[in-house]
Amino acid sequence: MNTLISYLREHYPIDRLGDVTWAHAVNSKARLKRFLNDPETMVLEADICISPRGDAVAAHPPVNDSDLSFDELVEAVASSKQGIKLDFKDAEIVIPCLVKLKELNLSQPVLLNADIFQGGGGYRPKFSAVGFLALCRKLYPQGIVSLGWTTTSGPDAAYTGEHIDEALELCRGVQQATFAVRASLLTASWRHLARLLQSEGYSLTIWNAEPVEQELLVWMRENTDPTRTLYDLSDHVKNPIRGW
């Protein structure tokens, strides 16, 4: 993750990955206006899906349309000093989005995220794991891959040793990667997830779909390493949770 932290250090007073601040779900012009060039926000995160018209927009399923197109989003970010994380929801729009990024030749880091692995209780991924990695390497090799699992918060939800083995095998030869893991599954799966950090270029990105209880926040502060962890967490109204 040297690319990310090195760039951000040039523009913000930070020392470690855990200091990176986020704006989550920047999926509308209103949220883009709120967070673009906000001095308290270092990285914008947006969900990218295919609209009914067939173009790429910033929206999170089941919503599949937005007043903010992918092109508008990345062109706006290009004028800022902020990084961006693109959470792809549909495989069909990965190629045109990567081509657009290549055309823009952004100076800031871009995290390319997709749920390419099937997790415990999760649905079958929309993406080919090998195919997604290959496209990122070919079309936008300067991007940082962010790889996740399809998960639920149900009783069968967990990250197993087999899930980690699959991820590490796929990523052989990948120098920089962050693995997106669900906050609510951390404590039950930590002995397996910690293996992802055995490679120096790898990190974790902790995200949440459910509210993060105070007990879990305390656990994260006591057990995760902020030099190797990004915390993309928000409260019930999508305001960032900060302070690591």
Is 175 a member of any domain? yes
Element counts in the chain: helices (H) and strands (E)? 8, 9
Is 79 a member of any domain? yes
Is 242 a member of any domain? no
Is 179 a member of any domain? yes
Is 237 a member of any domain? no
Identity of residue 30: A
23 vs 154, residue with greater confidence = 23
Q: Which domain holds residue 140?
A: 2-232
pLDDT at position 168: 96
Average pLDDT estimate for 159-172:
96
Question: Residue 219 maps to which CATH number?
Answer: 3.20.20.190
209 vs 37, residue with greater confidence = 37
pLDDT at position 18: 95
Say if residue 244's pLDDT is above 70: no
Q: What is the pLDDT of residues 22-77, one digit of tens each?
A: 998 999 999 999 999 999 999 999 999 999 999 999 999 999 999 999 999 999 99
Average pLDDT estimate for 103-107:
95
Q: Report the candidate in 238, 233, 205 with the shortest Cα–Cα distance to residue 4.
A: 205
Q: Give me the number of domains the chain comprises.
A: 1
In the chain the first and final C-alpha atoms are separated, in Å, by 18
Instruction: Provide the whole-model pTM.
Output: 0.94
Query: In terms of DSSP bridges, do strands 43-50 and 56-58 run parallel, antiparallel, or are they unpaired?
Result: antiparallel
Q: What is the pLDDT of residues 171-199, one digit of tens each?
A: 998 999 999 999 999 999 999 999 999 88
Rounded to whole angstroms, what are the CA distances from 243 to 18, 182, 231? Answer: 9, 18, 9
- DSSP-derived 3-state class of residue 79: coil
Q: Report the candidate in 82, 205, 227 with the shortest Cα–Cα distance to residue 145.
A: 205
Say if residue 113's pLDDT is above 90: yes
Residues composing the chain: 244
**And the tokens for 175?**
């120098």
* Confidence band of 218 (pLDDT split at 50, 70, 90): very high
Say if residue 91's pLDDT is above 80: yes
Say if CB 130 and CB 162 are below 8 A apart: no
Is 241 a member of any domain? no
Is 239 a member of any domain? no
